[in-house]
Each structure stands twice: as C-alpha cells, then as structure tokens.
Structure 1
Amino acid sequence: MIPAAAPRTVPPPTPRTGAHLVVEALEREGVDYVFGYPGGAIMPVYDALPGSRLKHVLVRHEQAAALAADAYGRVSGEPGVCMATSGPGATNLITGIANAFMDSVPMVAITGQVPAPLMGTDAFQEIDVFGVTMPIVKHSFIARSASDIPQIFAEAFALAKSGRPGPVLIDLPKDVTQASGPFPPAGPVPAPASFSTPDPDALRAAEALIRDARRPVLYFGGGIAIARAETALRDFHSRTRIPAVATLKGLGGLPTDIPDFLGMLGMHGTRAANTAVMESDLLICVGARFDDRATGKLDTFAPGARIIHIDGDASEISKLRRADVALPGNISAILAALEPGRLEIDAWRARCAQNAADWAFRYDAPGSGVYAPALLNELSRQAGERFIATCDVGQHQMWVAQHCRFSRPQAHLTSAGLGAMGYGIPAGIGALFAEPDATVVTVTGDGSIMMNIQELATLRRYRLPLKIVLLDNSQLGMVRQWQELFYEENFSEVDLYDNPDFADVARSFGIEAFTVDRRADVPSAIERLLKTRGPILAHVRIDPAENVWPLVPPGKSNADMMEAS
C-alpha cells in the first residue's frame, strides 16, 4: 500500500508592498526600460523588480540614467524613465531632468527618499529633491501613503506626455515603499485638455499673408519633433515650396538635403539661411520660440518681416516677437488647414537657391589631416535612413548640425537648451534601447567624453552597437575659439594636453577602438565604424586650431556673420 502523501505546506503569499505598486504602475503604463542605479532609499523598489517584465538598465552614474531616459523619450515619443536613490543619487539626476525640461522631453524621474518621519531632519542622504527640482519639472509628487502610488504614477505619466511634454518627478519615502497591505487600484486620470479647432479667422488671415508675401521663409524648430508633426510640415512645404530654415532642435523636420532647405539659422547657421531670414517679408514660425541662439540680436532679426506663429504652447506666441497672426494648438492640424493657394515666389526661391549654392560648405580643406566636417558629412550619408546622431556639446556639436544629413527629427539628438556636456554616450544608450535597429553614432569631443566616460562599461555590459566618433583636438575647442576671437587670445584653462590615449581607454573597457589622424584613412575608418556589430570607438585626432564657421558674434545681428579668414 502506497502511503498517502503528506499534506503540502503552501507558503503564505508574499505581501504586496508599496514597491510592488511602483513596479505594477510602470508595467501598467507600458514601460519597457528603466534606467537607474540602486541605493539605500530606493532599495525596496529594486527588491520588487525581479520577476517583473520591466528591463532595468544599470548605468554607472545617475546622470547617465536621466540622459539615457531623455534620449529614449525623444526617439520613442513615450516618457523615458530613470530611477535613483535619495541624496546624491537624486541630485545626480538633476542635470538630466533639467535637460529634458529645457528641450520639452517626456520623462518620469523616480527618486528614493528617507522615511517620511525623518524628512526635514537632515537624515543621512536626505535632500529635498522636491524643492530642488521644482523649477525644472512640469510637476512633482511625494508619495505620502502606499495607497497613493497607483494614482500618482497614472497622473505622472499623463502629465509627462500631454501638452508640452516634460519631466515629472516622483519622490518615494522608504517607509512608503516598504508598507504592505491591500491597496485600491488607481482611479480615473483626468483627460488632458485637447487642442481647440484652429481659429478660422486666424487661418484666413495667415493664408492672406502667405499669398501676399514675395519673400516668405518657413522657420521651424523643436516643436515639430515634440508634436510628431514632420509629415504635416513636409506636406505644407510640398504645397508651398517656401524656402525653409531650422533651429538646432528643428533639424530633420524637413530632410536636410532637399531643395529649398537652406540649413540651420542663427549663431552657427549657414549664410544662406541667415540671409534669407534677414531679407524676408514674412516668417512662418512653426514650433520655434525665437531663441537667442537663433535670432542673434533680437531687435534686428528679420526686420522687415510679418510674423505668423504656430505653436503647441500658446505661451510661446508673442513672448519674444509679436505675432501678426497667432495660431496656437495642434501643429499638424493647423498646417493641414492652411491652403494659401499658388504663391508668386519663383524669383525668391531662385535667389535663395543661388545663395545656397554660392555659399555651400566645401569639404576640400587643405592639408593631409582629418577635416572633421567632411568626415561627419560622409559618415551621415553612408549611415543611411536609420542614422541617429547623439551629440555632445562644443565645436563638434555645431559641425554635426551643419554638416550631417538628417532625414527625420529623431535622427538628431542634442542637448539644445541646456548645452550639457556628457550627453552623447548616455543618449546613444537610450536611443539604442528605443530603436535597436538604428545606426546610432555618438559624436563627442575630448572634453565632453570625460564627463560620462564611465558609460563605456554600460555599452560593454549590454553589447550595444554604439559607434563613437571622438574628435580630439586636445582643447576645450569652443571655449578656446571664443577666447581667440573675443578675449584677445587669452587662453585660460582650455589646454587638454594631458588627455589619455582614448583608444587605449576604450579597449580597457572591452570596447573595440582605433585611432585616425590622416585624411587618407577616413574612408576605411567610416567603413569599419559602420560594419562593426558591437560598440566601437574611433579616436580621431584633428587640428587644435580649427574653428567653427560661420559665426555670429555675441550681441550682434545675424547679418554680421564672421567667416574663416
């Protein structure tokens, strides 16, 4: 006789905690990736992560977590999520949060906090991150009870991506994430206010201005990418064939190699773009905000032009330049509704095209050294339609904007408003998680790469096929250029003569790397970069005296462009 089986002891179910509610809320929002770094106050959430469908990306510095989440948000259109512990973990997120705020990128930043009874007591690793980040977020939450977590997360994600997108902070006291018990589900989240129908009278007024113009310019910016309005922009341009210029963040709204696109305007814009704007009689401003880097001296910007301003954020309209016709609302709907008819601008188009041809960039610089603009131009063309550039800040940033080909707004990721050095590699990580099939190239400098060089370890861990082009002039190049031109060549603290061998550094992280210092080797270098399946770094030595041209001096009109002597 077979003895009866002993009664099976079923372990009691693990109680659900506030931390489990955090994980469940992220899953409910459809989050795939969380970029983060663990620590004491956020540890309950990390304890709840195993077994979830969330994929955590362990970066090596919290700033990189926020910058990677920023890039993920730009490419995917959904909020990027970053997470860190209290105190220094939270403060290390701040640069990335500010970057997302300045460039209107959807993001949810999650921070651990000391237990609620200790808040305000200067406890170990306590920082009032709610107060510190208040000027650089759309909204902040402190979870006071675990039962509040589902509702907080639902509202945070809705806020991050509605209207003008931006970062939202959620601060989680440790006792709240440790609390257990039955919890109610999230309640309904108020639907974001929808855009009203474009004002018919304003549309007709705008159409009349466009019809009457003889020298119109289409001036567009980062609002195109934010609103995912590139199709509408391209349709409007194909109907009107108005010569077009873009801000730094607008690049890719129209493919940069089509006829009628004159290039970036502003401080390092093309002469053709700045000249067209200065001579225009009508500016159709779409998703741009008359930023100082674009306008130069504002009271001299497009002095003879009427203004039609189209923007998803009504507060931007007439903020810096009074609009003759204001069209706030859904950018795509407004552009689709504008039907000005046939325009009498053939002579203007021909004049702008001739200027663009006469002032086109040349890539036959003298010498045998590497000419960075030529390298970047060719690399972007060979990379094709799946090309994404993630760029650091400095001279190389402007060369990328001037010389790379961009077929879509998501192809150009740059720290535009904040100008944060160290953005490039973390942004490359975020872009690859958002679009794994893309050809993602980080263009960085010898100054910028040292800001977040530890993220080479993240590339190695996840075998991300990021192609890094490091332009090394052993200088803080943009600062040196300004000191040369505007500070009587008083070169102060810009010499990076003691840089390491960056190819050796990359190899020490397990990253394939090679060095290029001759122009003749550039074609094979581009081929190697694009054919390598894993991460790879090209250490490109360039002339320390090379400057970015043209340049509008600070405080001057865009008509006062300086050129290479």
Structure 2
Amino acid sequence: MESPKHAGDIAVSVSQAYGVNTMFTLSGGHVFPLYDGAVHQNMRILDVRHEQSAVFAAEATARLTRQPGLAVLTAGPGVTNGVSGVATAHFNGSPVVVLGGRAPRSRWGSGALQEIDHPPLFEPITKLAFTGSGADSIGQDVEMAFRTALAPHRGPVFLDLYMDDVFSPSPEYVSETLTPSPLEPDPEALAGIARLLAEAERPLLVLGSDVWMERAEEAARDFAEEWRLPVVPNGQGRGILPSGHELLVTRARGAAFGQADLVIVVGTPLDFRLAYGWFGGKEGAPLARVVHIADAPSQLATHTGLSASAAGDLSVIFWGLSAACGSAGVNPKAYEPWVSRLSEAATAAAAGDAALLRSDADPIHPMRIYGELNKVLADDAVVIGDGGDFVSYAGKYVEPRRPGNWLDPGPYGCLGTGLGYAIAARLARPSSQVVLLLGDGAAGFSLMDVDTLVRHRLPVVMICGNNGMWGLEKHPMQMLYGYDVAAELQPQCRYDQVVTALGGGGELVTSPDEIGPALRRAFDSGVPYLVNIATDPAIAYPRNTTGV
C-alpha cells in the first residue's frame, strides 16, 4: 500500500507544475521532506556550499530560462544567509520562490533550534513573504508563491513552512498553473509616444532586462529596425541587437545619451546606470525628452519628469507603438544623419581601443584579457560578470551575439553572485560555453562553490582579473584623501590553486602572451578551470560622474 503523501511531496509537485526541474539548496533537517519529495518525483537536487549560492543559482535560472527558480533553505541562518540573493532577485525582477524551513509550530515561542520569524526580514525585498498556514494547505500556499512571483512585475517570493507541518501528511493537490493575463497598454499613451518620435531628430532606444524576461526581444528588434532607431542595451537587453549590428551604438553611449533629443527607455529603471533619467545637454544640445516604458505601472519612474510613459505587455507595446508611428507620420529616414553620426563615433571608439586590446604592457592591462577572450567566445556563450573594475571592462568590450547570454548582479551590485550564476548557466545551457569573469575581490565571496561545480560535474571557465586590491575603493580613496585603507588584497594570490585543490584546474598568468593559450587550455579542459591573471594595479576603469 502506497504511503500517504507528506507536505514536501505536494510542494515539489506544485513547483514542477510551474516548470521547476532543479531545487537549489544546502542540506538542513528542517526541510528534509522537500528533499524526499524531490527524490520521489525525480526533481534534481543541487546542493551548494553556501545558501547565498543557492538563491543566486535560482535567480540566474529564472533569468536564463524565463521560468521560475526554486531555492530551499533550512531554518534560521540557512534562511538569513539567503537574504542578499533575494534582494538581488528583487532589484532584477527575477521570479524566484524561496521555501524556508521554520522551527516547529508545536514548539514555537519556546526557544527551539534556529527559531526566528523570517517573513518580516523579507517583506521589503519580496513581492510576498509569508508562513504556510498548515500541512493541509501546502499546495495552495506554494501555488500562491509561484503565481505571485510570475505576475508582472516579476520578483521573489518567500514562504517558510513549520517543520512539523512539512513532515505531516497532506492531501493531493492539482495545481491550476494559471498564467497572468497580459496587461494591455493604453493606446493613447502609445499615440503620444509616436508623436514625440515624429517630432524628434535624435531619438535613442534603451532596451533593458525586462525586454528579454517578457520574451519581447523579437518585437523590440523589429521595432528598432523598422523605424531606424539607434539602440543602447542595458543588462539582459544586451544581445537583442547582436554585436556588429548597424543600429547598436553601445560604444558611442556617451554621445548618444549626451546629444539625444528623445530617449525611450524600455524594461529597466531610470536608476544610476542611466543617469537617473537625465539625458542630453551635451555640446549645446538641450535636455532630452524622456519616455519610460515598463511591464507594470509600479515600475514607471516617479523621481523625474517624463514626457510620456506606458505600461503593459512589452511585445504588445512594441507592436502597438509601431502601428502608432505609422499613423503619426514618423519618417525613419529623418534619423539617418543621427544614426550615421553615432555609428561613426562607435567605430572611432573601437579603433581607439584596438591598441589596448592587443597591449603587450607588462604588468598586464585588463583590456588585453578581453581582446583575447573575444577571439575564443562562441556565438552562444553565456558570459557572467562578478566584480568591479575588471568586470566593468567586460560590459564595455564584450558584446553578446544573442539575447539572454549576459548575466551581472544588476542594480543592487551584490558581489558573490558569480558561482551561483555559473552553476545555473551550466545547467540551463548545457552545450554552451559558460564564462565567469571574477574580480579578485569578488572571488573571495564564493570561490568555495567550485566544489559544487566539481561534485556535480559542471565545467565552467573562470577568469580572475587579479590586481591585488579592491579597485573600486582604493583609487577613489587615494583621490579623496591621498591615502587608502582596507583596500589591499594579497598580490598575485593563487586563487587558481584553490580551484585545483577542490578538484578543478587552473593556472597563474603573468605575461600578456600567455593569456590566449591559457584561455584555450581552460575551454579544452572539460573541468571547472580558473585562469588567474595578474593585472596592473595602477590601472583603474575610467568613469565619469554623470552615470552615462
């Protein structure tokens, strides 16, 4: 006779109905029934060495597959160790469900092991944080978590389960797996945006991560190409227009933002990465009109004046906006001088950087690393950035050829995402190159999870730009105070030997002519492999103060 199902079985069953096939976790007794349910139902259990990596892996799964990610964390410190991962998912709009263990209901308030009320900790950084109401309602609770995470605007949900509830029998539950209805945009709002385009001479289109998450990348590209709009991508918007596309003007970003008279920002907040929504005003140009388009009204900017805005399903918006442009008499040929000017600026910028991408400087200039990496990256490579100065170069010099192939921590800027992201990328894209770019500071947060890569046979190429410092802090402190403190790391620290000790491969590179061969060895190795490259500590990534 078959044993009655417990609450862990039901939770796993509902998760599978929403497309989850991997549970990211670190072992803990409070959540054993969830593991048992995964075993019963053939859900993959991938255990990591720190709970933050479990949440980061779930978040990257959501961002790469556009399906919800699942992390299971044991009670108390297991849950609190995942807070930064949940905050990152919140700022990235990633549909992640975190199921937490909770001290037993029968002992609540008497000082049980790891007893703490988790949901109040998560309320500011989730769409919903709540405690399961009982074993009999586990199916409804888990379904509510997934449905809420997936509804526009997507985001993380936290649900913790009393230990004695999750161990208890639970009735069968059939998930409804309802998908939210697309939010229809206001036609008048689209008509207003089209009129602004008809009046503009120097428009610019910014495509952010939500364009990818909304599966609107084809509609976005069609819109840009039909109306001849130059494009600057942001976050996972990178690759919607592939490297080399005539309308892709990332390398002329400063001129584009500084001289545009109309900037249409789609699927990303008007935050510090986009000068808080202040564009134009350079070289005699007036301030630009700004249009903000989002998947939900809650995401529209309220901190700066907008000329127009629209919210709704992003594909529907692009289609509707295209029709509205036709009615408004938008003439794409009118933008050709502007597009040509930006294209020339981008070409000039690339030509100006060519020498550094081939630099033979010793110590190694970070740009030489990207010059060599671009030679060996495949079209479908997934590139992950986890670091400060070193990864900033990647954002400038690595142009994805396909959408959905770039991951960075996003606007929250949390270091330590890299190993969790790499774990998820290898599972989500088993036949693609997976490249993790680490600053030496970032490496210290999560390098122990190379053990996870090794145990689960997940080959990843890791490249560490090792300048022996916290570069984002050292150089500014010296500029401000004439000295720096708490900014030094061990020069040429052997992070590669950490990886080899954990069962992977690695090597230290100190000469620029060794970079290319080392990268080829890493890709050919078939194991987690760290190329630890000693870079010039005197070089800081050049930044301006405008955010653009």
Conserved? CA contact 2:366–2:536, under 8 Å: no
After TM superposition, give the deviation of residue 317 of structure 1 in Å. 2.5
After TM superposition, give the deviation of residue 201 of structure 1 in Å. 2.6
Query: What secondary structure sits across from 1:41 in the alignment?
Result: helix
Match of 2:264 in 1: 284
Query: What secondary structure sits across from 1:357 in the alignment?
Result: helix
Match of 1:240 in 2: 227
Deviation per CA, 1:111-158: give whole Å up to 9, x if none: 110111333444320121111111111112311211111111122112
Q: Which moved more, 1:349-358 or 1:295-304?
A: 295-304
- Cα distance, 1:369–1:317 mapped onto 2, change above 3 Å: same
After TM superposition, give the deviation of residue 552 of structure 1 in Å. 1.5
Match of 1:313 in 2: 296
CA distance in 2: counterparts of 1:201 and 1:237, whole angstroms: 21
- Cα distance, 1:164–1:395 mapped onto 2, change above 3 Å: same
After TM superposition, give the deviation of residue 499 of structure 1 in Å. 6.5
Matched, 1:507 2:507: no
Conserved? CA contact 1:34–1:81, under 8 Å: yes
Specify which of 388, 400, 408 is matched with residue 406 of structure 1: 400
TM-score of the aligned structures, taking structure 2 as reference length: 0.92
Specify which of 195, 202, 205 is matched with residue 183 of structure 2: 195
How does 1:66-215 map onto structure 2 within 5 Å? 66-180=55-169, 183-186=171-174, 188=176, 192-196=180-184, 198-215=185-202
Conserved? CA contact 2:187–2:320, under 8 Å: no
Matched, 1:393 2:362: no
- Cα distance, 1:49–1:220 mapped onto 2, change above 3 Å: closer
Match of 2:533 in 1: 540
How does 1:383-462 map onto structure 2 within 5 Å? 383-462=377-456
CA distance in 1: counterparts of 2:221 and 2:375, whole angstroms: 21
Match of 1:552 in 2: 544
Q: Which moved more, 1:288-297 or 1:440-449?
A: 288-297
Aligned amino acid, residue 484 of structure 1: Q
CA distance in 2: counterparts of 1:160 and 1:54, whole angstroms: 20
Deviation per CA, 1:56-90: give whole Å up to 9, x if none: 00111111100111111110111111111101101
CA distance in 1: counterparts of 2:135 and 2:256, whole angstroms: 58
Instruction: Provide runs of 4+ in structure 1 moved above 6 Å.
Output: 299-302
- Cα distance, 1:200–1:44 mapped onto 2, change above 3 Å: closer
- Cα distance, 1:71–1:102 mapped onto 2, change above 3 Å: same
Unaligned runs of 5+ in 2: none
Q: What is the aligned-residue identity percentage?
A: 27
Query: What secondary structure sits across from 2:377 in the alignment?
Result: helix
CA RMSD, aligned part only?
2.2
Q: Which moved more, 1:375-384 or 1:63-72?
A: 375-384
Conserved? CA contact 1:252–1:411, under 8 Å: yes
Specify which of 460, 481, 487 is matched with residue 488 of structure 1: 481
After TM superposition, give the deviation of residue 356 of structure 1 in Å. 1.9
Specify which of 350, 359, 362 is matched with residue 353 of structure 2: 362
Aligned amino acid, residue 141 of structure 2: I
Deviation per CA, 1:284-309: give whole Å up to 9, x if none: 12112211232169487785222232
Query: What secondary structure sits across from 1:22 in the alignment?
Result: helix
Aligned amino acid, residue 521 of structure 1: E
Q: Which moved more, 1:183-192 or 1:165-174?
A: 183-192
How does 1:260-339 map onto structure 2 within 5 Å? 260-263=247-250, 272-295=252-275, 298=278, 304-339=287-322
Aligned amino acid, residue 536 of structure 2: D
Conserved? CA contact 2:273–2:547, under 8 Å: no
Match of 1:352 in 2: 342
Match of 1:561 in 2: none
Query: What secondary structure sits across from 1:56 in the alignment?
Result: strand
After TM superposition, give the deviation of residue 32 of structure 1 in Å. 0.9
- Cα distance, 1:368–1:167 mapped onto 2, change above 3 Å: same
Aligned amino acid, residue 132 of structure 1: L
Query: What secondary structure sits across from 1:49 in the alignment?
Result: helix
Aligned pair count?
534
TM-score of the aligned structures, taking structure 1 as reference length: 0.89
Matched, 1:467 2:461: yes
**Larger CA Rg, structure 1 vs 2:** 1
Query: What secondary structure sits across from 2:293 in the alignment?
Result: strand
- Cα distance, 1:356–1:136 mapped onto 2, change above 3 Å: same
- Cα distance, 1:557–1:158 mapped onto 2, change above 3 Å: closer
CA distance in 2: counterparts of 1:20 and 1:535, whole angstroms: 34
Matched, 1:528 2:521: yes
CA distance in 2: counterparts of 1:29 and 1:188, whole angstroms: 10
Conserved? CA contact 1:233–1:254, under 8 Å: no
After TM superposition, give the deviation of residue 33 of structure 1 in Å. 0.5
Conserved? CA contact 2:372–2:515, under 8 Å: no
CA distance in 1: counterparts of 2:407 and 2:2, whole angstroms: 46
CA distance in 2: counterparts of 1:557 and 1:543, whole angstroms: 25
CA distance in 2: counterparts of 1:205 and 1:257, whole angstroms: 32
Which structure has more helix as a fraction of its residues? 2
